[in-house]
């Protein structure tokens, strides 16, 4: 039998988590289910949803050539920004793992871009910096070189957006730093005694020890890159020539400019399935990596 005192404690616990629970049900679970239902309808915010079955999904892959184009651009954006971001975050984490005076201050300073990077204000600042008469071209001019059209050149605009994504390396860096601190120092000492250099230690000690964290960061940063909207919307507006028109912008335009809410919901679910497939692929790759590392260790 459960005493009245235990029951009251349960109610108190439910009361504490009630704000989060309500927020989850209203702002996450309900929109998640509603968007799936709307994706099978013709819903324009101006009329009642009308069930159309798989029409929205068929249209995406048969007649809407822009959808496939935006998916390709988004995929290229993720392939360009995520590896660079993770490599840079790991490099900075290794530097900040050193035991020197005042290292806590440096860690805080390097984390700041992660806090500010996704804001509209920073995107506006990034646009000003990379304008034709901006700061970057000013420094290039000091070297005697001509200005570069960072935002209006179709070949460079997406790279410029990717640099902003790389600049937001703080969250991945903190996770890498925590993983690096968990590696036993005895492994590096034994490797140094055996005459192993820094690069070999990194390949054979650091990377295997933090492999699970690498795959975790890969998943999280890939999801963030595929869902990006702010930087493309503020900095380039999808231009030039739709070369930075990523899926986040198409979702926004279809839903809030053309009022095709049902169609936009279908796009969002395709994006969700792509992210889910990539996540499962990374999990499979991580399992294969762990198996390969274990087999290699046992053979030795």
In angstroms, the CA 191 to CA 136 distance is: 43
53 sits in the region (left: phi over 0; alpha: psi -120 to 50; else beta) called left
Say how many C-beta atoms besides its own lie within 10 A of residue 107's C-beta. Answer: 17
Mean of the per-residue pLDDT values of the chain: 87
Cis peptide before 57 (omega within 30 of 0): no
In angstroms, the CA 294 to CA 212 distance is: 14
Domains of the chain, first to last: 65-287 (1.10.3720.10)
Give the pLDDT confidence of 140-196 residue by residue, as tens digits: 988 888 889 999 999 999 999 999 888 888 889 989 999 999 999 899 999 999 888
Give the pLDDT confidence of 68-125 residue by residue, as tens digits: 999 999 999 999 999 999 999 999 899 888 877 777 777 777 777 666 655 788 888 8
What's the pTM? 0.87
SS3 42: strand
């Amino acid at each position: 039998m459960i005493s009245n005192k235990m029951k009251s404690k349960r109610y108190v616990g439910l009361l504490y988590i009630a704000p989060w629970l309500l927020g989850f049900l209203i702002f996450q679970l309900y929109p998640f289910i509603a968007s799936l239902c709307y994706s099978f309808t013709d819903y324009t915010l101006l009329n009642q949803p009308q069930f159309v079955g798989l029409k929205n999904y068929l249209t995406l892959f048969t007649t809407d050539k822009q959808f496939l184009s935006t998916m390709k651009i988004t995929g290229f954006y993720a392939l360009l920004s995520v590896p660079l971001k993770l490599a840079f975050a790991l490099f900075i984490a290794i530097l900040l793992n050193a035991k020197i005076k005042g290292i806590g201050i440096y860690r805080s300073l390097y984390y700041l871009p992660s806090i500010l990077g996704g804001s509209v204000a920073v995107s506006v600042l990034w646009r000003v910096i990379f304008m034709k008469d901006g700061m970057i071209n000013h420094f290039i001019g000091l070297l005697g070189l001509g200005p570069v059209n960072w935002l209006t050149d179709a070949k460079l605009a997406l790279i410029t957006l990717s640099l902003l994504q790389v600049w937001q390396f703080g969250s991945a860096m903190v996770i890498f730093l925590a993983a690096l601190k968990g590696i036993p120092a005895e492994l590096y000492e034994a490797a140094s005694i055996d005459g192993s250099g820094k690069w070999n230690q990194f390949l054979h000690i650091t990377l295997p020890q933090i492999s699970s964290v690498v795959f975790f960061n890969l998943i999280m940063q890939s999801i963030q890159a595929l869902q990006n909207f702010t930087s493309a919307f503020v900095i380039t507006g999808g231009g030039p020539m739709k070369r930075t028109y990523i899926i986040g912008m198409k979702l926004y335009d279809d839903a809030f400019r053309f009022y095709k809410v049902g169609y936009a919901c279908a796009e969002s679910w395709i994006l969700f399935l792509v992210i889910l497939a990539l996540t499962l692929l990374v999990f499979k790759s991580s399992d294969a990596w762990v198996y390969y590392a274990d087999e290699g260790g046992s053979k030795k």
